[in-house]
Amino acid sequence: MSGLPTAAFRAVGRDDAIPDGFVVPFYLSDRKLRIAVARAGGQLYAFDDLCTCPGASCPLSGGLLTGTTIMCHCHGSEFDVTTGAVVRGPATRPLSVYEVQVADGSLRIRAKAAGRSGPRSSSAVRSSRREPKPSLMKILRRCHSTVRTDSPGA
């Protein structure tokens, strides 16, 4: 890590509890804070679990993770989990991101927000190359076109 004492981090679960491409929510009851942890490309990222969309707060842990971008299932906002930046609205406010480390097989999160200036994982530097992501409408059209509308005996 960056020389931060392990005591500044709190254990939230086992490192192997989050497979690649998945997001798991954690609730820090003493801070009344929901934090989601995603594993993307073998790296761990921690960020606010509640979307910053106007209106109801939706849990991002229930959204779609594509690479390092998570999409809110309520309004379709997309966020970069490495920085918390809004990739696509309607959300306009970024997410807070948190430092993550693995020690003795335990997943640990530093409860103080690490900010929004860059990656906050204990792993090596990540590639800045990003793959294009399909729009929500393209995904819906693709799903719709694969649904069979004919029924047997019709």
HSE-up of 65 (CA within 13 Å, CB side)?
A: 25
CA distance 106 to 129: 30
Sequence-distant (6+) residues with CB within 8 A of 132 are none
pLDDT at 148: 42
pLDDT at 151: 42
pLDDT at 26: 92
pLDDT at 54: 79
* Tens place of pLDDT per residue across the chain (154 aa): 444 444 488 889 898 889 999 999 998 888 888 999 999 999 999 999 999 987 778 999 999 999 999 999 988 999 999 999 999 989 999 999 999 999 998 999 987 755 543 333 333 323 333 344 444 444 444 444 434 444 445 4
pLDDT at 83: 95
pLDDT at 114: 56
pLDDT at 113: 56
From the options 2.102.10.10, 3.30.70.3270, 3.20.20.140, 3.90.1150.10, give the CATH code of 6-146.
Answer: 2.102.10.10
CA distance 114 to 131: 26
CA-atom Rg of the chain in angstroms? 17
State pTM to two decimals.
Answer: 0.67
